[in-house]
Structure 1
Amino acid sequence: MLAFFRVGMLGFGGGPSAIPLFQQEAVKKYKWMTDEEFADTLALANTMPGPIATKMAGYIGYRVGGIIGCLNALISSVMPTALLMIFLLQLLQVYKDIPWVQHMSASVVPVVAVMLATMTWDFMKKSGDTLGWKKAVILILASFLLTEWFNIHPGILIFVLILFVFLPSKKKEAAKG
């Protein structure tokens, strides 16, 4: 699958930088899933151990083509990157003291930051539209405080929120009865 090869080759900076690329390929270009399904997939993938890009490729590939699609996606996204990484890291070791190589490496960081900020803004808009802006802002601020100030792992926070959604509340029970 060319989509996963592109993500694997262009996701410079690690798994988080590949997330917007996965969204571009799976949601916008090929329309394999909606933005909401992508957000759910990303949230679930963040709760599990291991590299996020591998989990996203594996699940999206499975969703599109079953077991063969999963294997194809994993090989397409991981193998070329692994081989290229071995080659480029050896090359980088040889030329690491040259100033333009140091500047090139440092220049990637702002690009990744912009990609992540764009994706964050898209998720914030969707949260505001889905939950209402007041509830979305409260959840965003609470999540930020819990992860950044209290060092609670995002996976734990996501798990607790999933439990909260599925636990019966008095309002839900009153609506049924």
Structure 2
Amino acid sequence: MIYLQLFLSFFQVGLFSFGGGYAAVPLIQNQIVETHHWLELSQFADLVTIAEMTPGPIAINSATFVGQQVAGLPGAILCTLGCILPSFILVLMLSCLYMKYRSMKAMQGILAGLRPAIVAMIAGAGMSILLLALFQGALSHIRLGNFRVVECMLFLVSLFLLRRYRISPIAVIFGSGIVGTLIYTLLPV
């Protein structure tokens, strides 16, 4: 039964996550944290971090990780298949339709209308991850006393390095991990 639940949960994620991996993050959170309670919110934050750092799309990495955590290797395979199968089917069907109707104004209007919604989903996912990183506990219980100064400083320095000096995001990720590890290992924070 758990295998079917895992497959269907990530099939839904794959089916409704228009806009790529970051648009899938709130859907994944809903399925694994809020609906099925397979992971805690703090574990979900770790999942997003690991899925971002590993090669490949974040949604597929997340599906594989959750499947492995919940049901071992068969769960990882089923979650991954559930996540990619809707995209495979939709892209196959849409490519046929697009080739046939690509010059129609209605098609251009549909694509133009989807763009703002996708940007909003990505921004929402980014804000959720940022708030989760800067405050301890659930997002619904944000308090000033739970503010994480070290994480805020790492975020601001990383953002500055990325925007001002155009440093590689990979270098910033590894650098932040090293600095964070040193700070939490050496200082009683």
Partner residue of 2:180 out of 165, 171, 176: 165
Alignment of 1:107 onto 2:113 = yes
Structure 1 gaps, min length 5: none
Q: Secondary structure at the match of 1:160?
A: helix
% of aligned pairs identical? 28
Structure 2 gaps, min length 5: 1-6, 137-145
Aligned counterparts of 1:142 and 1:69: Cα–Cα separation in 2: 38
Q: Please tell me whether the aligned partners of residues 20 and 119 of structure 1 are also in contact (alpha carbons under 8 angstroms).
A: yes
Aligned counterparts of 2:177 and 2:151: Cα–Cα separation in 1: 15
Q: Secondary structure at the match of 1:71?
A: helix
Alignment of 1:27 onto 2:39 = no
Q: Please tell me whether the aligned partners of residues 42 and 56 of structure 1 are also in contact (alpha carbons under 8 angstroms).
A: yes
How far is 1:60 from its partner?
0.9
Aligned counterparts of 1:39 and 1:69: Cα–Cα separation in 2: 20
Tell me the number of residue pairs that the alignment of Structure 1 and Structure 2 aligns. Answer: 173
Partner residue of 1:89 out of 85, 88, 95: 95
Alignment of 1:144 onto 2:159 = yes
Letter in 2 for 1:76: G
Aligned counterparts of 2:82 and 2:53: Cα–Cα separation in 1: 24
Q: Please tell me whether the aligned partners of residues 43 and 158 of structure 1 are also in contact (alpha carbons under 8 angstroms).
A: no
Q: CA RMSD in A?
A: 2.3
How far is 1:80 from its partner?
2.8
Q: Please tell me whether the aligned partners of residues 133 and 151 of structure 2 are also in contact (alpha carbons under 8 angstroms).
A: yes
TM-score by length of 1: 0.85
Aligned counterparts of 1:165 and 1:128: Cα–Cα separation in 2: 13
Letter in 2 for 1:98: M
Partner residue of 1:13 out of 16, 19, 33: 19
Partner residue of 1:3 out of 2, 6, 9: 9
TM-score by length of 2: 0.80
How far is 1:56 from its partner?
0.9
Q: Secondary structure at the match of 1:167?
A: helix
Letter in 2 for 1:96: R
How far is 1:69 from its partner?
0.4
Change (3 A) 1:144 1:62: same
Aligned counterparts of 1:104 and 1:141: Cα–Cα separation in 2: 37
Aligned counterparts of 2:63 and 2:45: Cα–Cα separation in 1: 14
Q: Please tell me whether the aligned partners of residues 54 and 78 of structure 1 are also in contact (alpha carbons under 8 angstroms).
A: yes
Aligned counterparts of 2:63 and 2:148: Cα–Cα separation in 1: 31
Partner residue of 2:171 out of 146, 151, 156: 156
